[in-house]
Amino acid sequence: MKNDGNQNKPERITPRKKIPFEKWSLVVFTFGTGALVLLALLNLMTDTGAIAVLKASVLAGSAMLVSYAVNRFAIEKGTELTATGFTFAGVVSVFSMLTVGIGLYAATYSGLTISSVGELQLQEHGSKYARIIGERNRTAAEAGRLVPVVRANEAELDQYVECEETTAS
């Protein structure tokens, strides 16, 4: 609290310095990027254990670093230069942020959806397998209904043979 020596003025609290929105949001989004890349890589890797987590963590950290550096440079330098009349700097800044975003999307999409795709493939295989088994069961059931008819014909033919043998002798 400060008072300028004038007793008539109320004491004022000096305002806290707030972190600007673009600075804290950049850090938050950078860590979000790292988390998504880490999850995606862990889903894609066939290795398990500490070595796999270490590999994925190093790659996720690299992605975080690249994302932070490119976006910070684009925001801080690109906006400054664009505001002073260099419109191409703004275009380059937006293009660089889009490039990083598209690259991270391409890197994480497959890792985040691979389990769903595998599950759908197993369901499709299961339905095809069930259809094949159903067809075989129908064929077996039809064959099972034919067995008594064939046995009756066999018995009838045996009677004819027996009758022919007795009358022929």
Q: What is the pLDDT of residues 63-88, one digit of tens each?
A: 999 999 998 998 888 888 888 988 89
d(CA 79, CA 72): 10
74 DSSP assignment: I
Tell me the pLDDT band of 62, cut-offs 50, 70 and 90. Answer: very high
**12 Cβ contact list (under 8 Å, min separation 6):** 1, 2
The whole-model pTM stands at 0.57
pLDDT at 5 over 60: no
Residues 114-159: pLDDT tens digits? Answer: 777 777 788 888 888 888 888 888 888 887 887 888 888 888 888 8
Enumerate the domain spans of the chain: 21-168
> Residue 34, CB half-sphere, CA atoms under 13 Å: how many?
15
Pick from 56, 59, 37: which is nearest to 108 by CA?
37
